[in-house]
Amino acid sequence: MTSVMSPLEGRAIGLAAVPDPVFSGAMVGPGTAIDPVREPSVAVAPVDGVVVSLHPHAFVVVDGEGHGVLTHLGIDTVQLNGEGFELLVNKGDTVTRGQEVVRWNPAAVEAAGKSPICPVVALEAIPDALSGLVEDGDVKAGDALFTWK
């Protein structure tokens, strides 16, 4: 079992509330989403593992059981071409849960006309594979979001 923690402080809103049909329809995988606090912050690794994909706006960490967890910083933020995002690790790095991965500013993303909402998705998982899914309420970085059974 893998416990997946929140990479950010904010409010859990669930994938259905994400303003993007790919995420809200759970086409990428099941999970939840965080509406982040609107201040400069750092997204942290949601699990212990290896950074297998790393972009300014999104990263994937795969744990020792082969579970990949996607953290996507905002919606359509790929269109910002990395502006306002600072990578703090490299692809291929081994990270520990809570380790800083990307520095960013959700308020600046919003000011650029993009949604700062952040899906946190269990890649290639079936919906029944998750338990304890948090879809509402305030969360801090490090709070449990769901468990991958």
> pLDDT digits over 19-29, tens only?
999 999 999 99
Q: Which residue ranges make up each domain of the chain?
A: 2-148
Nearest-angstrom CA–CA distance, 102 and 14: 22
Answer whether 135's CB lies under 8 Å from 143's CB: no
- Catalytic positions, written as ranges: 72
**CATH architecture of structural domain 2-148:** Distorted Sandwich (2.70)
pLDDT at residue 29 in the model: 93
pLDDT at residue 88 in the model: 98
- When pLDDT is cut at 50, 70 and 90, the band that residue 62 belongs to is very high
- When pLDDT is cut at 50, 70 and 90, the band that residue 132 belongs to is very high
pLDDT at residue 149 is higher than 90: no
pTM of the model: 0.96
Tell whether the torsion through CA atoms of 71, 75, 76 and 78 is positive or negative. Answer: negative
Answer whether 120's CB lies under 8 Å from 147's CB: no
